[in-house]
Amino acid sequence: MLTKASTPSSVLLVCLGNICRSPTAEEVFRQQVAIAGLKIKVDSAGTSGWHAGDRPDIRAQKHAKAHGYNISKLTSRQVKPQDFYDFDLILAMDSNNLDDLHQLKDKLADDDDTVARLALFSEEDPIYSGDDVPDPYQGGSDDFEEVITRIESSAQAWIESWRMR
């Protein structure tokens, strides 16, 4: 079982549609993990399947690229039950998606020790602790910029938390 102090071998980042927040978080996390010298498999998914098979939102791609993150090749997918076994840690971008993930996890017949630990993406972040990463989909440029700022901060906070334990 993954304890709070353990560095996971795999992390799944989850938002609603997997076209704005979680694909951005996937690439930010992947780069920060590599810089930190950690060996962690990183992926992303959505709790809904509305955009399954789609590339990230063009606005998310544009803002990510401006910060040095290329998310253009990522493809949206929906969270599936197997993800709870394939990943050690599943991080939700907001409390609604975290609730949805808990409901999915509760439907699994297995013991909690055999499935992924769930947490809010900002859980370890001293700046945004407990805050949702807001969904920029209905917003403008500033909303996408805020998402990147929050994602960079929270990804770094998780990595620092593993280094300190």
Active site residue: 15, 94, 125, 132, which one?
A: 15
Instruction: Identify whether 30 is a catalytic site residue.
Output: no
The alpha helices in the chain, defined as continuous H runs, are 21-35, 58-66, 83-86, 95-106, 141-164
Active site residue: 20, 21, 30, 77, which one?
A: 21
Active site residue: 57, 100, 135, 150, which one?
A: 135
Instruction: Identify whether 77 is a catalytic site residue.
Output: no
Q: How far apart are the first and last CA of the chain?
A: 16
Coil, helix or strand at residue 163: helix
- How many other CB atoms sit within 10 Å of the CB of residue 70? 11
Q: Angle at Cα 160 formed by Cα 41 and Cα 105, nearest 5°?
A: 50
Residue from 146, 117, 119 nearest 59 by CA? 146
Coil, helix or strand at residue 102: helix
Give me the active site residues, please. Answer: 15, 21, 135
